[in-house]
Amino acid sequence: MNKSKNKELIREKFNDAADIYDKFRKSIIPNFDDLYGVLVELADLNVKNPRILDLGAGTGLLTRYLLEKYPEAHFQLMDLSEEMLNIAQTRFKGLENFEYIPADYVNEPFNGNFDLVVSSLSIHHLKHQEKQLLNSKVFDHLNPGGIFLNADQVTGPHEFSENIYQKNWFKKIEASDMDEEHKKPALERMKFDNPATLEENLKWLEEAGFADVDVYYKYYNFVVLFGRKL
């Protein structure tokens, strides 16, 4: 399947799920509050009204937390799914410090430079080459001292660990309050996952020029990655 066709299918799947996406986030993502909480803690900027770019922003869940920390920030939300962004616009209705960009963030030019670029549970859908290109693109559009934070999924470094990751994840989903009607499309969307290993992710960030690259949170296959531009 070519890249454009694959992204069109991803866009359609997430458009279809937009209305119920928020309701079942915590059923799909184990320790959701910890994952997002660590990312927001690490978004420690010495800027009162920073420019913040959220890649794969979806319905604005992550941005909602960042808005509490930086109410005077200027936010740009980019996502492939127009329906997801429509919900984000409703969430932040009346706020003038927001821009919404329905586009493929790998190929769409970024509008200006930023103090903080974030992403949550999105970049793992990309081809590995696209992940590397995106890292360089983010680095180029960060202001000096800017931070890139990515809460995402990784694959295990070997088959044994990957099996442990998947067993834990599906056990958590089965134990959640998600009903069968909504579980099936959620599992269908997982077929578009294409995570890299933690080691690959860290290496690609360093190769793009980021300093102080690290993983500050890891629960099986869910991580928070950090890099900053000196």
Alpha-carbon gap, residue 146 to 186, rounded angstroms:
34
* Residue pair 75/99 in contact by the 8 Å Cβ criterion: yes
Mean pLDDT value across residues 81-89: 95
Alpha-carbon gap, residue 18 to 84, rounded angstroms:
5
Residue closest to 228 by CA, chosen among 83, 68, 42, 37: 42
From residue 48, alpha-carbon distances to 51, 57, 68, 70, 71 in Å are 10, 22, 13, 7, 9
Cβ contacts of 143 within 8 Å, gap of 6 or more: 51, 113, 114, 115, 229
> pTM of whole model > 0.75?
yes
CATH of the domain at 218: 3.40.50.150
pLDDT at residue 9, as a whole number: 77
Domain span holding position 84? 3-228
| Number of domains comprising the chain | 1
Report pLDDT digits (tens) over 147-167. 999 999 999 999 999 999 999
Type of residue numbered 138: V
pLDDT band at 19 (very low <50, low <70, confident <90, very high): confident
Mean pLDDT value across residues 50-60: 97
Q: For the chain, first and last CA: distance in Å?
A: 39
On the question of pLDDT at 1 being above 80, the answer is no
Residue closest to 224 by CA, chosen among 8, 65, 14, 87: 65
Q: Of the ranges 13-22, 140-149, 176-185, which one carries the lowest mean pLDDT score? A: 13-22
pLDDT at residue 154, as a whole number: 98
Size of the chain, expressed as the number of residues it contains: 230
pLDDT at residue 17, as a whole number: 66
| Residue 212, Ramachandran bin (φ over 0: left; ψ between -120 and 50: alpha; else beta) | left
For 120-148, b/e burial (b = at least 16 CB within 10 A) is bbbbbbbeeebbbbbbebbbebbbeebbb
Residue closest to 84 by CA, chosen among 100, 66, 68, 67: 100
